[in-house]
């Protein structure tokens, strides 16, 4: 099973101050050093976190593969066909949502035409296309019909459920994963996965890729906290000495 690490939250933190740190591009390098098999970012229509600049530089620096999440909208599809990431995951997008809610709707002929057309344009540019969908039979069959190579099963309901509800959601995901394989779709999964709830899901042989963001970013902040604070403490303690010593402190480049 491939692990794709979603680094959108790094950009969210940067955009909170409109500064240049933390840089998602550096985070991607670190994630790859940690063993990520791919890097996922969502170029949202409102550019609330990841910016075009990030995707452009990620395309030049990521050594594994970039999975770009976008809506099936002309503007971002056009940009994406220029950038040519390894893979695109088409997702539904609403400006007011906190994060992606629910899978793509393929229930109407209009929605299928829109997704089919975006899928074709992306594939013509040499990009593999995955659709973020709820784990239900009709949507999976529509996903194959519109020509996608893969589906990412929405695991949000599974993540939110507890007890028997969660067991039911797991069975639903498993059935969807088996069906996906039978109708020729590669099966991915993502949303709300954590260090705890990913375990039974990762044991399903039909799922070949997971996309995980929030839980890994949350842990990264905590496991890095102690070191970050200690480094600032050490700096404060040494500062008077370093400034007073001749040659002890030189302004860095770009000061
Ligand atoms: N997959 C898709 C399609 C998403 O939109 C997201 C959230 O951006 C994820 C996976 C990752 O979800 P989480 O941040 O909850 O791990």
CATH topology for the 2-244 domain: TIM Barrel (3.20.20)
The verdict on whether 69 is a catalytic residue reads: yes
Pinpoint the alpha helices (H) of the chain: 8-17, 24-33, 52-61, 74-83, 109-124, 137-145, 156-160, 163-182, 198-202, 214-244
Q: Is the CB of 156 under 6 A from ligand 1?
A: no
- Cβ partners under 8 Å of residue 9, min gap 6: 49, 213, 214, 217
| Token pair of 204 as six digits | 């399903």
Name the residue with the closest Cα to ligand 1, atom 9.
191
State pLDDT tens for residues 114-157.
999 999 999 999 999 999 999 999 999 999 999 999 999 999 99
Atom 15 in ligand 1: residue holding the nearest Cα: 192
Of the pLDDT bands very low, low, confident and very high (cuts 50, 70, 90), residue 254 is confident
Query: From the CB of 69, is ligand 1 less than 6 Å away?
Result: yes
Closest residue CA from atom 12 of ligand 1: 191
Cβ neighbourhood burial of 63 (10 Å; 0-12, 13-18, 19+): exposed
Which of 49, 142, 188, 191 is flagged as catalytic? 191
Question: Both tokens of residue 248?
Answer: 């002890």
Active-site residue flag, 191: yes
Average pLDDT score over residue span 86-99: 85
- Residue 95: per-residue pLDDT: 64
SS3 3: strand
88, 70 Cβ separation under 8 angstroms: yes
Helix (H) or strand (E) holding 87: strand 87-90
Residue of 84 and 94 predicted with greater confidence: 84
Q: What spacing in Å lies between the alpha carbon of 5 and ligand 1's midpoint?
A: 9
SS3 71: coil
Residue 8 CA, closest ligand 1 atom number: 8
- 214 is annotated as an active-site residue: no
What pLDDT, on a 0 to 100 scale, did the predictor assign at position 15?
Answer: 97
State whether the beta carbon of 211 lies less than 6 angstroms from ligand 1. yes
Work out the mean pLDDT of the chain and round it to a whole number: 95
Instruction: Provide the pLDDT for residue 93.
Output: 82
Say if residue 2's pLDDT is above 90: yes
Instruction: For residue 66, say if its preceding peptide bond is cis, omega within 30 degrees of 0.
Output: no
Neighbours of 69 (CB within 10 A): 26
- Cβ–Cβ < 8 Å for 190, 172: no
Q: Give 243's pLDDT tier (boundaries 50, 70, 90).
A: confident
| CA proximity to 49, closest of 18, 79, 77, 91 | 18
Ligand 1 contact via 190 beta carbon (within 6 Å): yes
CA dihedral in degrees (125, 131, 137, 142; nearest 10)? -40
pLDDT tens, residue by residue, 167-190 = 999 999 999 999 999 999 999 999
> Does ligand 1 have an atom closer than 6 angstroms to the CB of 89?
yes
Residue 136: predicted pLDDT: 95
The residue to which tokens 């019909």 are assigned = 145
Residues 69-77, mean pLDDT to the nearest whole number: 96
- Is any ligand 1 atom within 6 A of the Cβ of residue 132? yes
Task: Provide the pLDDT for residue 3.
Answer: 98
* End-to-end Cα distance, the chain: 45
| Cross-strand pairs, 133 | 153
Question: 191 CA distance to ligand 1 centroid (A)?
Answer: 4
Pocket perturbation via mutation, ligand 1, pick of 6, 89, 193, 194 by most ligand atoms within 8 A of CB? 6
Catalytic entry in 9, 42, 154, 188: 42
Alpha-carbon Rg for the chain, nearest whole angstrom, is 21
Q: What is the pLDDT of residue 251?
A: 84
């Amino acid at each position: 099973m491939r692990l794709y690490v979603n680094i959108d939250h790094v950009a969210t933190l940067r955009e909170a101050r409109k500064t240049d740190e933390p840089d998602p591009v550096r985070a991607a390098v670190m994630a790859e050093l940690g063993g990520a098999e791919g890097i996922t970012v969502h170029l949202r229509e409102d550019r609330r976190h990841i910016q075009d600049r990030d995707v452009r530089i990620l395309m030049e620096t990521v050594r594994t593969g970039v999975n770009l999440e976008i809506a099936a909208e002309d503007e971002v599809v056009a940009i994406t066909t220029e950038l040519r990431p390894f893979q695109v995951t088409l997702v539904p997008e609403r400006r007011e949502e906190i994060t992606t809610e629910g899978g793509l709707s393929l229930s109407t002929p209009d929605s299928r035409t829109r997704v089919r057309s975006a899928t074709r344009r992306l594939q013509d540019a040499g990009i593999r296309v995955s659709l973020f969908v709820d784990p239900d039979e009709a949507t999976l069959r529509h996903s194959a019909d519109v020509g996608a190579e893969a589906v990412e099963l929405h695991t949000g309901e599974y993540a939110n459920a507890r007890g028997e509800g969660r067991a039911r959601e797991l069975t639903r995901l498993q059935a969807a994963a088996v069906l996906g394989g039978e109708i020729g779709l590669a099966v991915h999964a993502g949303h709300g996965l954590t260090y705890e709830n990913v375990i039974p899901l990762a044991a399903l042989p039909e799922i070949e890729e997971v996309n995980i963001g929030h839980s890994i970013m949350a842990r990264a902040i905590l496991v890095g906290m102690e070191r970050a604070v200690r480094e600032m403490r050490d700096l404060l303690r040494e500062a008077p000495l370093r400034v007073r010593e001749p040659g002890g402190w030189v302004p860095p480049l770009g000061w």
